């Protein structure tokens, strides 16, 4: 019986299978198989050049990590993490131009591919056209040069810069600026500075933080700061024909804009210039205000240049019409000059009118102050005379129109007394002669 049992192979096999299931039951109970979720696996992109070759930029929408579910026993699950897995998104397999499929493999072999279930099956991306934007480079110069010097037209090398970036980034780039300091400079200087980019609101852009953005510039920007000796000189107008304007008009002056101009050059040349005399101005026969623009460069000596961009000076030659106004004066307010000795005077008229010409504002001022006038009795004898009335006008802005006269009577009081004495003597003589005749 014992020998029969020992030689029964089917019984032995059945016992072995039974033992295996008993062992499996024990193991499954102590180390059960379950499904575990692993997240935060970084996704690596492959064949991205296929997109850039199309002139496109790639931007990941959302997270760039993958999540998987693995079916392993408890012991294995305790020994694995996201670091054991590699997630790859291959642009060769992209579909709809927005989804890149994800594959995940276990790099340590602890989990077979069949036990990995993808929860993140694709990464969403946004494709955007790459475009070039070219902007001029400007220099922001701070600080003041040494005394007696000024900064000329600052130049940069290169003068422009091109940025290649996704459209959403490229349209933000509005200006490129380099900051340089010109404090105490007394000669032309070339500096190097880092380029900065700004948007339309003047906000600084960090282009390095944007994927697929490239600045087409090697190294720093060279900035040349011209430093020149500068002197401000006065523009002096020399106007011809001042006294030969049209009849009834008067030249009243000239406005110069600008009245000073900055020149640059060697100090030896600059010291010879104290002013710029402009001689091409003429108002002969003018009956209205004239505006003349002069290119001041032709008045400059060799070696001297206009420092500022504006080299034109505007001269406004003012011509104004003369007005007439009649003033009435009481004759008792006249100033009497040169009264002959031993004579007295009297004026027949109580008032006199005088017509004065001049600019309207001057006539207003004259009226406000009150016109004064005088007469001269120089060389006149006793009797009745017509005498000119002369207005007293200060300054050269007035003129008398026509003439005004009054009648003055001059009397010699002494001649009147002598006449009365002679008449009395003749009367006495007549009376004496009559008495003598009666005695006879």
Q: pLDDT at residue 114 above 50?
A: yes
Find how far residue 270's CA is from the centre of its chain.
Answer: 29
CATH number at residue 154: 2.170.120.40
List of residues 6+ apart from 367 with CB closer than 8 A: 325, 327
Distance CA 381, CA 410 (A): 7
The answer as to whether 6 is a domain residue is: no
The answer as to whether 424 is a domain residue is: no
**Which pLDDT does position 266 carry in this prediction?**
75
Distance CA 196, CA 156 (A): 14
**Which pLDDT does position 227 carry in this prediction?**
83
**Other Cβ atoms closer than 10 A to 341:** 5
342: left (phi over 0), alpha (psi -120 to 50) or beta: left
In angstroms and rounded to an integer, the radius of gyration of the C-alpha atoms of the chain is 57
Distance CA 96, CA 123 (A): 12
Distance CA 377, CA 344 (A): 11
**Which pLDDT does position 221 carry in this prediction?**
94
Last residue within a domain, chosen from 295, 320, 345: 320
**Which pLDDT does position 369 carry in this prediction?**
87
In 208-248, DSSP assigns E strands to 214-215, 221-225, 227-240
pTM of the model: 0.49
CATH number at residue 72: 2.170.120
Name the band, by pLDDT with cuts 50, 70 and 90, for residue 208. confident
Mean pLDDT, rounded, for 28-43:
82
Least confident segment among 142-151, 301-310, 331-340: 301-310
Percent of the chain, pLDDT > 70?
87
The DSSP-derived string for 311-380 is -EEEEEEEEEE-EEEEEEEEGGGSEEE-PPTT-EEEES-SEEEEEEEE-HHHHHHHHHH--EEEEE-TT-
Q: pLDDT at residue 255 above 60?
A: yes
Mean pLDDT, rounded, for 353-373:
90
CATH number at residue 351: 2.170.120.30
Domain housing 201: 129-225
Q: pLDDT at residue 322 above 50?
A: yes
Same domain (yes/no): 111, 89: yes
Q: pLDDT at residue 147 above 70?
A: yes
412-440 pLDDT, tens per residue?
988 755 555 555 545 655 555 555 555 45
The answer as to whether 247 is a domain residue is: yes
Cis amide leading into 258 (omega within 30):
yes
Q: pLDDT at residue 339 above 50?
A: yes
Count of structural domains within the chain = 4
SS3 of 135, please? strand
381-422 pLDDT, tens per residue?
999 999 999 999 887 678 889 999 999 999 998 875 555 555
Q: pLDDT at residue 27 above 50?
A: no
Q: pLDDT at residue 5 above 70?
A: no
Distances (CA, A) of 152 to 145, 291, 393: 11, 30, 54
Same domain (yes/no): 328, 354: yes
The answer as to whether 216 is a domain residue is: yes
Last residue within a domain, chosen from 73, 94, 120: 120
Distance CA 423, CA 434 (A): 17
Residue from 242, 250, 246, 244 nearest 358 by CA: 250
Same domain (yes/no): 220, 268: no
Same domain (yes/no): 221, 258: no
The DSSP-derived string for 253-301 is EEEEESSEEEEEE-HHHHTT-SEEEEEEEE-TT--S-EEEEEEGGGGSP
Same domain (yes/no): 344, 310: no
Q: Give me the chain's average pLDDT, please.
A: 87
């Amino acid at each position: 019986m014992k020998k029969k049992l020992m030689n029964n192979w089917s019984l032995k096999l059945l016992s072995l299978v039974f033992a295996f299931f008993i062992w499996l039951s024990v193991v499954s109970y102590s180390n059960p198989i379950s499904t575990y979720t692993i997240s935060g696996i970084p996704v690596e992109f492959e064949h991205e050049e296929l997109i850039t070759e199309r002139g496109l930029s790639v931007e990941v929408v959302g997270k760039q990590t993958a999540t998987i579910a693995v079916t392993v026993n408890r012991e294995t699950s305790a020994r694995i993490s996201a670091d054991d897995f590699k997630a790859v998104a291959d642009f060769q397999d992209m579909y709809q131009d927005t989804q890149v499929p994800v594959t995940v493999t276990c790099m340590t072999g602890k989990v077979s591919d069949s036990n990995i279930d993808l929860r993140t099956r694709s990464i969403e991306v946004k494709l955007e056209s790459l475009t070039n934007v070219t902007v001029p480079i400007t220099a922001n110069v701070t600080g003041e040069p040494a005394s007696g010097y000024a900064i000329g037209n600052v130049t940069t090398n290169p003068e422009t810069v091109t940025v290649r970036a996704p459209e959403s980034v490229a349209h933000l780039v509005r200006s490129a600026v380099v900051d340089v300091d010109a404090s105490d400079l007394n000669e032309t200087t070339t500096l190097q500075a880092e380029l900065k980019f700004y948007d339309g609101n003047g906000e600084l852009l960090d282009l390095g933080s944007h994927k697929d953005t490239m600045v087409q510039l090697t190294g720093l920007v060279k900035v040349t700061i011209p430093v020149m000796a500068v002197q401000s000189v006065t523009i002096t107008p020399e106007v011809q024909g001042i006294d030969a304007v049209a009849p009834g008009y008067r030249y009243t002056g000239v406005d110069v804009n600008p009245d000073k101009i900055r020149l640059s050059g060697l100090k030896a040349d600059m010291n010879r210039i104290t002013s710029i005399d402009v001689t091409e101005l003429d108002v002969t026969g003018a009956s209205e205000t004239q505006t003349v623009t002069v290119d001041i460069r032709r008045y400059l000596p060799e070696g001297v240049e206009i420092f500022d961009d504006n080299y034109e000076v505007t001269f406004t030659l003012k011509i104004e019409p003369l007005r007439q106004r009649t003033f009435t004066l009481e004759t008792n307010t006249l100033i009497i000059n040169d009264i002959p000795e031993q004579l007295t005077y009297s004026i027949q008229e109580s008032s006199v009118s005088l017509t004065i010409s001049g600019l309207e504002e001057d006539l207003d001022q004259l009226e406000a102050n009150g016109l004064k006038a005088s007469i001269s009795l120089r060389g006149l004898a006793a009797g009745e005379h017509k005498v000119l009335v002369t207005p007293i006008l200060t300054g050269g802005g007035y003129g008398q129109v026509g003439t005004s006269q009054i009648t003055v009577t001059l009397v010699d009081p002494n001649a009147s007394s002598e006449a009365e004495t002679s008449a009395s003597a003749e009367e006495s003589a007549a009376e004496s002669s009559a008495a003598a005749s009666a005695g006879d």
